[in-house]
Structures are given as C-alpha cells and as structure tokens.
Amino acid sequence: MPTKIDIPRKSIYRLSIYQRCLHRLRENQVDTVSSAALAKAAGVKSTQLRKDLAYFGQLGTRGLGYNVDALSTTIGDVLGQNKLQPVILVGVGNLGSALLHYGGFRKEGFEIAAAFDLNPRKLPNIKVPVLNMSEAAAFISRHHVKMAILTVPANNAQSATNDLVQYGIQAILNFSPTVLDVPEHVVVNSVDLAVELENLSYFIR
C-alpha cells in the first residue's frame, strides 16, 4: 500500500468521484463494472482511471472488469474513514447561511459542528450554533476540528485563514473569491461560483 505522499493530489480527488460512482452502482445492484464504463460514469478517460487505480496494484480482472464492492472497499481504505469529521463554517453572510440551510453536507457524512462570525446572529430554522469568532480557538481545540468551510468576504479571508491555521485547522474549503496563502501542511480547495459562471459564459455562442 503506497503512503499518502505517493499518490498525486489530482488522483486522490478523482478517487472520491470514482467512489461516488461505485456507490451508485451498488445501489443499482451492479456487481462488476468495466474500466471503460466506470471511467465514463466518472467523466474521465479510461486510461486515466486505470492509471489512478494502478497506484493500488492489480485490482481488476482482464475481461471481467472491477468488482464493485471490492473496489469501493479499497478506495474507502485509501480515502480513510475521515468522513465523519466535524467541520466548522466561518463567515455567516449570505453564502454562509445558504450553506447552513443546505444541509446536504450531513447526508454526505460531514457535520457542521458550529458556525462562526464576527457578529453572530441567531438563524431561523438552523440547528447549528452560530458563535462569535472569539470562541473559535477554544471550540476547535475542544472538538478536535481540522476542517473549515470559509465563507467570509474576500478582504477578510486571509486574516481569518491565518487565525484558523493557528487554531489547528488543516483543511479549508474556500468560497471566498481570493487565493489563500497557507503553510505547507494546510490544504485548500477553492470554489469560486462567479468564476465558474464567468468561465461558462465564455463558451456561449
């Protein structure tokens, strides 16, 4: 089994996508899947899929494809049982409260344990406690929180990040429209909804 270091970041990302497809196949009582079919479901080339899975040794049987259960278990072992991680959300503005209302994270195995804001206010119909940023350090330490969803305005994003990293956050899902400068041990994934739309608009005839 290779160590985490050996697998490229983008392969790890695609493993999550393969895993999602495998779960769907299992729900549909599909037992085996060819690399071509799994690649198509995941939206990647089958050469890419085979290369990604080759990091774990020989998994499929030529001509038979992959056993859905076995492959899913292997990928699950690699990705780790980290899914029940507590996550905090920082910045309860429009997007932050929208994500708190969303609720879909929980279904996927992530629980937003608390939300933080400089000016916390009670949100209707939300069970997640909204706390003052000044309580973040203690909360993160007490609940061993390693992951944060960042939804603060762009001009606060770097200083909020600096604080979170100091408090022990190691992974940030960044919705602020800015690039964050973080130490090497911290991982950031960014989702910029406006950039996604702007990018799409380029391709419209």
Interface with a copy of itself (CB under 8 A): 4, 12-13, 16-17, 19-21, 24, 40-43, 79-80, 82-83, 85, 87, 94-95, 97-99, 101-105, 108-110, 146-147, 149, 154, 170-173, 177-179, 185, 187, 189-205
Q: Residue 36 or 193: which CB sits closer to a copy of itself?
A: 193
The tokens describing 184, both together, are 């090497």
**Other beta carbons less than 10 A from residue 30's beta carbon:** 12
| Residue 28 CA, distance from chain mean position | 25
* Contact between residue 91 and residue 66 where contact means Cβ atoms under 8 Å apart: no
Q: Residue 81 or 119: which CB sits closer to a copy of itself?
A: 81
Shortest gap between Cβ of 192 and a copy of itself (angstroms)?
A: 8
Shortest gap between Cβ of 124 and a copy of itself (angstroms)?
A: 10
Rg (CA), the chain: 19
Place of tokens 């203690």: 138
Q: Residue 64 or 179: which CB sits closer to a copy of itself?
A: 179
Q: State the pairing for strand pair 130-132/66-67.
A: unpaired
Q: Residue 64 or 106: which CB sits closer to a copy of itself?
A: 106
